[in-house]
Structure 1
Amino acid sequence: MTDFILQAEGVTKDYVVARSFLGKPTRVVQAVRGVNLSIAAGTTLALVGESGSGKSTLGRCIAGLVRPSAGKIRLAGHDVRQLSGASLLSFRRQVQTIFQDPYSSLNPRRTVGEAIMDGMVIHKLYTPEERHARMLGLLARVGLQSDHAKRFPHQFSGGQRQRIAIARALALEPRFIVADEAVSALDVSVKAQVLDLLADLQAEKGLTYLFISHDLGVVRHIADRVAIMAAGELIEEGECDQIFEAPVEGYTRDLIAAVPRPDPGRRRFRA
């Protein structure tokens, strides 16, 4: 029997974009429409779709950053919408998010070391000495140096900032990570390094990923299963190889056809 760490049932998210003079909603946009989704522990589910498909909104609902309008989200069998107090705090520790732009999610006035330790302070984990030692260990694990702890976010490259974001997410020893376009802003070589790091950490710590992306070329290298979203709905889901080799929906076939393919016979122009 498959051990599903996360299950979403009928998840819907509505946004009111216009109200009457009396405050009554007159226009509602349904960003997510009745999505059912399950993710097995220790695996990666890639959620793929074009801009505006609702994939990031669904990811934020799953991460607890946005409250769904309807439906249920269960983490390890517990209904996330029913959590409060200590149980909600535990959920926020177990589920972490890595965003597309790490610079905007890092406080520019706090050092990298402080940013990584913030979560440990909030959740009252470890002694101050243990927090500092753990922070240095996490920096080393993501390929950064101990003296980087005293620097500020603007002093790092995009790839380095994403590694810092990963270290910060790992600081609370989460079980589940939502990676929302986590490598889309990086160049090709740095993107590959970060993907390798995520894969290594998953193998090492048994992490479960919801990997949100518009790039099927990236998805093929990291996902176990792929779910395709369009207009707020989940239109196709399956094992990674099945989605790429025998997609059912025309929308999925169009996405795959749009993935750039290297041409070994083509020579680069040189002046």
Structure 2
Amino acid sequence: MSGATQPAETRGWLARIDAYERLVRLDKPIGILLLLWPTLTALWIARWGVPPWSLVLIFTLGTILMRSSGCAFNDWADRKFDAHVARTANRPLPRGEVTPAEALVVAAGLALAAFGLVLATNTTTIAFSFAAVAISVAYPFCKRFLALPQAFLGLAFSFGIPMAFAAVYGAVPAYAWYLFACNIFWVVAYDTEYAMVDRDDDRRLGLKTSAITFGRFDVAAVATCYAIYLTGMAYLGNVRGLGLWYYA
């Protein structure tokens, strides 16, 4: 192998790694934090601020894997639209850096790795994991049919909450579902803001989003969702006696 060939091959491999990194959004970790925050909050509340480190590790790694899997699958599902949206046109699939088949393999592989982590919990959590995957798979197609697909995303991004309680107790108490419902409003709020950026492109492509549905009331709707979330979380902290650290 010549010295001239080696750098070209190295650049090729680095480009492939970079494409896969962008496919699963490791270059934009904010999505991981948006998933991880409610999940760790649920663990913290379930165990009164002292969750087992084993569960913290399982849910942290599982969140990273499933968010990455979801991004790859979402890009596969939206591959015919992303090339026509300014914000997504430079993603690896529209640019041809990754094939649709490769995106599916990556999504499936990461989901299986996450499932391997769930196997270390209990049967209730494992059962919930199947529901979580089903919701995650269905979400990318909601923009074709639902006026508020962000609400469905809220289900997907909140499912770590019942799973966390199930991992601690082997069951999901009623107040965990209250936390779950509050979190959906939070997701709808921030993802509606996100959807505002793509509103013109989405409307032109015939897609549906909460930003389009809310129309000129979008800011008021976002503010209302945030208000419901914050009020609900404050109420939960009060009735559960979670103390000042909860509000910090």
> TM-score normalised by the shorter chain: which range applies?
under 0.3
**Greater relative contact order: 1 or 2 (C-alpha under 8 angstroms, separation 6 or more)?**
1
- Point out the structure with the larger helix share: 2
TM-score, normalization by structure 2: 0.28
TM-score, normalization by structure 1: 0.26
- Point out the structure with the larger strand share: 1
